[in-house]
Amino acid sequence: MSSLTVLDWLMIGAYFAMLVVVIWYTMRKQETSADYFLAGRNIGWFVIGASLFSSNIGSEHLVGLAGSGAKSGVAMAHYELHAWCLLVLGWVLVPFYYRAGVYTMPEFLERRYNTASRWILSLVSLVAYVFTKVSVTVYAGALVIQTLLPELEFRGLNSFWIGAIAVVVITGIYTIFGGLRAVVYTDAAQTVVLILGSLCITGIGLYHLGGWGELREICGSTRFNLWRPMSDPEFPWAGMLFAAPIVGLWYWCTDQYIVQRTLAARNLKIARRGTLLGAYLKITPVFLFIVPGMIAYALAQKGMLHLDSPDKAFPALVSQLLPSGLRGLVVAGLLAALMSSLSSLFNSCSTLFTVDIYKKIKPAASEREMVSVGRVATMVVVLLGLLWIPAMQRVSGALYEYLQSVQAYLAPPMTAVFFLGVFWRRINGTGAVVTLLSGFVLGLLKLGCQVYAGQYAPEDMETLPLLQQLIVAYGNINFLIFCVILFAYCCFTLVLFSLLTPPPLAAQIENLCFAANTDAGRREIRESWNHWDIIHTIIVLLIIVSIYLYFTG
């Protein structure tokens, strides 16, 4: 295994120098809450699109997607072909978010439904961010640094903890002082580094392997097929066909972590075009991250690469294949992915706490006070993320699959409440509250039963009491199939309780659902797009269909 050379460190140093310049440029104006949380609502389409991509592609993607590719082939590529969900965000939901003038997704729910729905989503989102996204992202980045610099040690701390602490602290500092403007502009710069570094690993990996044909031959048709039989314990085709879009629509269209970028746009046209660029970029992970994982598996099969576990596929390629200099570029790309996702998470958590919780408790808070509270909230999230890392070290299996299974339990109630609320005016606050509460409880119950069921082998079932058998059976339901079942339940519950209670007031739905759009609202939407937006939308959809056809067989 090769260690980093002087040239590699120079490349990494150049990356950090670029980062310092961008951060210095963006930290100069942070006087109001709009400046700090939404970058003054003055961001261009390129920065929005690049930030959407860079925020999404964290170190858990580089590590986890490559690990999934090494373990299962292209099965998880369904999630990366969710570029079409970004089109739904730009064409369907952004107009409602933008005209509502909201800072957060829970704030939009309050406008559409009631205050209770806002509180529920705010609290659930904060807890989920800290205990899933922040900790998983930090864990994955630390795992990369541990693999690349195994001998690094300082005052009893190994390379895993040094990497985790250093990157979290550095990212936390510029997020605390720079707000969303620092986040999105550093994201844009980091996107370039990330794509260049990942292209290098894919190209060099294929060169060492002997080309695309060799990869197909070694991996076989099963690993090159997006669709698995219903008997597949991990990725049954029905689960991927129906569950993956449920998670994708929640993540790309309703999650504060992602949508906050579009809320910072100068206008509706810029916001939509940012989502179009993001959709183009979102297609690339199939070839930049999943394929390298498959390359690592193929090289290991030929005895050309030492691979301890699937989650170490990407760092193993970096440390064992890349020449000096390029290795530094790819490590910089890994750091870029880690820092861009972390900074976005920190800022989103800060925004949720300050706008949806602190501002509700203290409505008279000044603009300067809001910015100060946002910075303190960011520091708290940084600390909580670090404290949760020891638990993440116990994660077994492929990291990305773990993250997707947790999200499959959180997404259904939110997807149902947002989309049915936008498409049907009759959906009301009572239905939303009952759906959110019961949906989250059922999802957490499934997660708890899944952990409990993990200690029993199939042959143990006959010896267990009936109640324990039911708990284990519930926990062993495939996470994708459960996601579909939970979504169906949430839709049914939302409709039922809405119809059993009075309809929402006119003020709660005006310009917040399609049936209640005013003439001025429709005119504003129509003036925000032209034929080029349509053409690029069609191109993105054709590329997605082509990839599906190629990996189906």
pLDDT per residue rounded down to tens, the chain (553 residues): 456 788 888 888 888 888 788 777 776 665 566 666 666 677 889 989 988 888 787 666 777 788 888 888 888 888 888 899 999 999 999 988 888 888 889 999 999 999 999 999 988 888 777 767 776 777 767 776 776 677 777 777 777 777 777 777 787 777 777 777 777 878 787 788 778 888 888 898 899 888 998 998 898 888 888 888 888 777 788 888 888 899 899 989 998 888 888 888 888 899 999 999 999 999 998 888 899 999 999 999 888 888 887 777 887 888 888 888 888 877 777 777 777 777 777 878 888 888 888 888 888 888 778 878 888 888 887 777 677 666 555 544 445 556 667 888 889 999 999 999 999 999 999 999 999 999 999 988 887 888 777 677 766 677 778 788 888 888 888 888 899 999 999 999 999 999 999 999 887 888 888 877 777 778 888 888 899 999 999 999 999 999 999 988 6
Would residue 480 count as lying in a domain?
A: yes
Chain position carrying tokens 């820092």: 339
Q: How many domains does the chain have?
A: 1
Would residue 451 count as lying in a domain?
A: yes
453: buried, middle or exposed (CB in 10 Å: 19+, 13-18, 0-12)? middle
Nearest by Cα to 247 from 347, 343, 128, 342? 128
Would residue 297 count as lying in a domain?
A: yes
Res 1: pLDDT: 43
Would residue 538 count as lying in a domain?
A: yes
Res 93: pLDDT: 92
Q: How far is CA 247 from CA 406, 445, 466, 476, 483, in A?
A: 10, 18, 33, 20, 8
Would residue 220 count as lying in a domain?
A: yes
The CATH number linked to 387 is 1.20.1730.10
Q: Yes or no: say if 419 and 248 are a contact pair by the CB < 8 Å rule.
A: no
Domain that holds residue 402: 6-550
Would residue 299 count as lying in a domain?
A: yes
Nearest by Cα to 451 from 393, 402, 410, 386? 402
DSSP H or E segment with residue 229: none
Would residue 400 count as lying in a domain?
A: yes
Q: Yes or no: say if 55 and 284 are a contact pair by the CB < 8 Å rule.
A: no
Would residue 1 count as lying in a domain?
A: no
Rg (CA), the chain: 23
